[in-house]
């Protein structure tokens, strides 16, 4: 009997639960605005506190509270994060509560500017933002910054909670002024839906129960709004899109493509195309562990089988053929930079979008955006927590959607190739037509043909090392010997190239990146012409040497590390540059106030301190010709 009633009760609860949705929200505002109090109040009002927690809170409120012995909810949430003292207050904390109508996941975000990247982490999965404003203070710089980040990440719903109304005598005009000011801001930012509610988190006014003191407010309470607000998903107008996560092949008779539906619906029999490849087929089955589906919808985790055998792999997007996504390799995008090392245009990063990872470069920073004022500023680099509007190019054309239409196929991250850190979050805007319009021109005489007349195998010898390390000396010797042996060579020397091709570039990090990019491209063209190219550039950054290497076929690029201790270079100082740098007359000098990143996988490692230049030159030539012997 007891079992029956328990089962019936749980079944009833589950039925109710089945139709209960999930709302993910982010709370913005500093602790001073009453965020902790509001969260504590919500946990209390939705009865997610145990009796023992409550009695502890009563005790704490008596002892430490700031509310004359009344319950001080801030103690509750701050107590949950005792690790604040240990310095992990910097990050977003996830909290959970629920009512009979919805489950809520709250990303509780830190307020300070230096933690903008962590706020972005919380905002990226939020359907709605609760922006807290202190009624006495009105809109602050922080309100603007948080709202901008929310808008950037595509949050279309803001609940503006004007808090501490009890401290302004519940005055309607104070609330109305703040609401009007915020609506203006929201219009500028393109936030579609704003609901403003006057509250006192401390007293409980308009949090979960209507406020008698503010009878003039005829809108919902905060909790009512959270329970009932309708969140439309973007991507509703798009056709079917599913990035392939994993190819399921348990045996020869089954080949399925597993993924989560990003947009649209799909049914067995529908025609689909796999992008970027373009293979077409029809859906045979929509497989799940709970049985095959008649239709799959956004958010479903499914496995598709096709009527025909097609070569489709992880990273491809399976799309409906009626209106498939565009495929492109150059884009305009917003970018939030999240790393301590600045973004440098031209430097290669990994870009992950959907389930695909490609190599990418930011080709241009059109402007950066002051997140506090939304002003556009000129910029050559992006520092930590800065937002820029950029052009980005990737090394393989990829299917995509504008972020505004589909977060799953328009949101991307950049990953540093050396540290593997997640350094940026981006939102694709549109494809640049440039790539479409400039096709690769087919040329009948190819590099093999040109090399054949020369009777040599084209290659690039890349000399890297500090200023004064002896790069040019060794490179010069190598070229002389190769020339004497009948090889057609060219030596590109850093100083000489800076007098011509690169004379517009200085010595900032971004200019150094561009310096290397240009010479690497020139070296590539010259090997296409059949030449053996010697490049003698300091090239201090690993990333750029890697970028240069990536332009060449394996085996055609030989990195030569001319390894001379800084002290020796400085003693030699053939051009007097070290002396100037030490005297502070020369900025950004490699080895002094700009880093030299040691090569990790150089083909040739030359120790100049104890070996004569002609012996070193011979080592390089042996490396170059080792395959010809």
CA distance 456 to 467: 31
308 is in an annotated binding site: no
85 contributes a contact to other proteins by CB under 8 A? no
Which is nearer to other proteins, 160 or 406 (by Cβ)?
406
Number of residues counted as binding other proteins (CB under 8 A): 91
The residues with which 177 forms a beta bridge, in sequence order, are none
Going 343 to 344 to 345 to 347, the CA torsion angle's sign is negative
Contact 577, 548 (CB under 8 A): no
Q: Which stretch binds other proteins (CB under 8 A): 17-25, 187-195, 198-206, 511-519?
A: 17-25
471 is in an annotated binding site: yes
Binder of other proteins out of 31, 105, 176, 566 (CB under 8 A):
105
Q: How many CB atoms lie within 10 A of CB 264?
A: 22
Q: Which long-range contacts (CB under 8 A, 24 or more apart) does 279-287 make?
A: 279/310, 279/311, 279/312, 280/310, 280/321, 281/306, 281/307, 281/308, 281/310, 282/306, 282/307, 282/308, 283/307, 287/256
366 contributes a contact to other proteins by CB under 8 A? no
618 contributes a contact to other proteins by CB under 8 A? no
CA distance 233 to 125: 12
Q: How far is the CB of 17 from other proteins (least distance, A)?
A: 6
Q: How far is the CB of 142 from other proteins (least distance, A)?
A: 20
6 contributes a contact to other proteins by CB under 8 A? yes
551 contributes a contact to other proteins by CB under 8 A? no
59 contributes a contact to other proteins by CB under 8 A? no
Burial class of residue 626 in the structure, from the number of CB atoms within 10 Å of its CB (0-12 exposed, 13-18 middle, 19+ buried): exposed
Q: Which of residues 423-462 bind other proteins (CB under 8 A)?
A: 425
Q: How many CB atoms lie within 10 A of CB 603?
A: 17
Pairing of strands 356-369, 301-306: unpaired
31 contributes a contact to other proteins by CB under 8 A? no
Which is nearer to other proteins, 18 or 169 (by Cβ)?
18
Binder of other proteins out of 117, 164, 241, 381 (CB under 8 A):
117
Which is nearer to other proteins, 197 or 353 (by Cβ)?
353
127 contributes a contact to other proteins by CB under 8 A? yes
- Torsion region of 557: left, alpha or beta (phi above 0 gives left; psi -120 to 50 gives alpha): beta
Binder of other proteins out of 59, 96, 137, 593 (CB under 8 A):
96
Q: Which stretch binds other proteins (CB under 8 A): 317-325, 413-421, 463-471, 503-511?
A: 413-421
468 is in an annotated binding site: yes
Which is nearer to other proteins, 12 or 615 (by Cβ)?
12
The active-site residue out of 147, 539, 543, 594 is: 539
93 contributes a contact to other proteins by CB under 8 A? yes
Q: Which of residues 254-273 bind other proteins (CB under 8 A)?
A: 254, 256, 258-261
Which is nearer to other proteins, 301 or 615 (by Cβ)?
301
Angle 539-543-544 from CA coordinates, rounded to 5°: 45
Binder of other proteins out of 1, 250, 437, 612 (CB under 8 A):
250
Strands of the 532-536 sheet, one edge to the other: 489-493, 532-536, 459-464, 557-563, 604-607
230 contributes a contact to other proteins by CB under 8 A? yes
Which is nearer to other proteins, 3 or 68 (by Cβ)?
3
CA distance 353 to 597: 29
Which is nearer to other proteins, 338 or 466 (by Cβ)?
338
Which is nearer to other proteins, 351 or 617 (by Cβ)?
351
Q: How far is the CB of 299 from other proteins (least distance, A)?
A: 3
Query: Residue 56, SS3?
Result: helix
466 is in an annotated binding site: yes
Q: Does 276 sit behind a cis peptide bond, omega within 30 degrees of 0 on the bond before it? A: yes
114 contributes a contact to other proteins by CB under 8 A? no
Burial class of residue 356 in the structure, from the number of CB atoms within 10 Å of its CB (0-12 exposed, 13-18 middle, 19+ buried): buried
Q: Which string of x and - marks every residue 287-326 that binds other proteins (by CB under 8 A)? A: xxxx------xxxxx-x----------x------------
Q: How far is the CB of 307 from other proteins (least distance, A)?
A: 18
The residues with which 111 forms a beta bridge, in sequence order, are none
Binder of other proteins out of 64, 69, 70, 246 (CB under 8 A):
246
* 313 is annotated as an active-site residue: no
Binder of other proteins out of 1, 82, 443, 567 (CB under 8 A):
82
Residue 173's contacts (CB-CB under 8 Å, 6 or more residues apart) are none
CA distance 21 to 435: 43
404 contributes a contact to other proteins by CB under 8 A? no
- Tell me how many helices (H) and strands (E) the chain has: 18, 25
Q: Which two tokens stand for residue 533?
A: 């190219």
56 contributes a contact to other proteins by CB under 8 A? no
21 contributes a contact to other proteins by CB under 8 A? yes
> Which string of DSSP letters, residue by residue, matches 241-301?
EEE--EEEEEETTEEEEEEE--BS-B-TT-EEEEETTTEEEEEEEEE-TT---S-B-TT-E
Which positions are catalytic? Answer: 539
Residues at the binding site for ATP are 465-472
Residues at the binding site are 29-36, 108-112, 163-166, 465-472
């Amino acid at each position: 009997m007891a079992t029956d009633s328990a089962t019936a009760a749980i079944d009833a609860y589950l039925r109710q639960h089945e139709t209960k949705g999930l709302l993910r929200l982010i709370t913005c505002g500093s602790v001073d605005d009453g965020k902790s109090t509001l969260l504590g109040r919500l946990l209390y009002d939705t009865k997610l506190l145990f009796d023992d927690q409550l009695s502890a809170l009563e005790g704490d409120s008596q002892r430490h509270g700031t509310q004359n012995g009344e319950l001080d909810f801030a103690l509750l949430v701050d107590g949950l994060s005792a690790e604040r003292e240990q310095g992990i207050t910097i990050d977003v904390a996830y909290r959970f509560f629920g009512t009979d109508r919805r489950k809520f996941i709250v990303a509780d975000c830190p307020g300070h500017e230096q933690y903008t990247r962590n706020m972005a982490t919380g905002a990226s999965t939020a359907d709605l933002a609760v922006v807290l404003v202190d009624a006495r203070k009105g809109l602050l710089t922080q309100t603007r910054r948080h709202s901008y980040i929310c808008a950037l990440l595509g949050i279309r719903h803001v609940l503006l909670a004007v808090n501490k109304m009890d401290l302004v005598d519940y005055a309607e005009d104070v609330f109305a002024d703040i609401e009007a000011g915020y609506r203006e801001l929201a219009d500028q930012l393109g936030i579609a839906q704003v609901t403003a509610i006057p509250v006192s988190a401390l007293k409980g006014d308009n949090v979960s129960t209507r406020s008698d003191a503010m009878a003039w407010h005829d809108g919902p309470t905060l909790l009512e709004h959270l329970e009932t607000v309708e969140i439309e998903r973007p991507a509703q107008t798009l056709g079917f899109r599913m990035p392939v996560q994993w190819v399921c092949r348990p045996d020869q008779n089954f080949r399925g493509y597993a993924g989560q539906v990003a947009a649209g619906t799909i049914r067995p029999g529908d025609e689909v195309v796999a992008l970027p490849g373009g293979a077409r087929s029809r859906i045979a089955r929509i497989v799940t562990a709970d049985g095959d589906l008649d239709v799959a919808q956004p958010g479903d985790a499914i496995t598709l089988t096709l009527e025909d055998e097609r070569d489709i792999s992880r990273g491809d997007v399976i799309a409906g053929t009626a209106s498939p996504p565009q495929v492109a390799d150059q884009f305009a995008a917003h970018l939030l930079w999240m790393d301590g090392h600045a973004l440098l245009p031209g430097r290669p990063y990994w870009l992950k979008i959907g389930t695909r990872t490609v190599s990418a470069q930011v080709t241009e920073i059109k402007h950066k955006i002051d997140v506090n004022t939304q002003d556009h500023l000129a910029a050559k680099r992006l520092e930590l927590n800065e937002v820029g509007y950029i052009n980005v190019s990737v090394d393989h054309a990829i299917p995509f959607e504008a972020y505004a239409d589909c977060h799953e196929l328009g949101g991307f991250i950049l990953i540093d190739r050396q540290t593997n850190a997640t350094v940026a979050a981006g939102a694709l805007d549109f494809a640049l037509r440039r790539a479409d319009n400039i096709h690769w021109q087919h040329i009948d005489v190819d590099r093999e043909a040109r090399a054949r007349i020369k009777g040599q195998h084209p290659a690039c010898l890349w000399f890297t090392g500090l200023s004064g390390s002896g790069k040019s000396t060794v490179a010069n010797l190598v070229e002389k010997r190769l020339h004497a042996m009948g090889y057609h060579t060219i030596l590109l020397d850093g100083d000489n190239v800076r007098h011509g091709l690169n004379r517009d570039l200085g010595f900032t990090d971004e200019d150094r990146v561009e310096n290397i990019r240009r010479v690497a491209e020139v070296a590539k063209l010259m090997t296409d012409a059949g030449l053996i190219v010697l490049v003698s550039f300091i090239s201090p950054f690993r990333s750029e040497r890697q970028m240069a290497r990536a332009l060449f076929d394996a085996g055609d690029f030989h990195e030569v590390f001319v390894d001379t201790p800084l002290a020796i270079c400085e003693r030699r100082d053939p051009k007097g540059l070290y002396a100037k740098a030490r005297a502070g007359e020369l900025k950004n000098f490699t080895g002094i106030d700009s880093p030299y990143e040691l090569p990790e996988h150089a083909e040739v490692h030359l120790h100049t301190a104890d070996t004569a230049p002609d012996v070193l030159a011979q080592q390089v030539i042996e490396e170059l010709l080792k395959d010809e012997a």
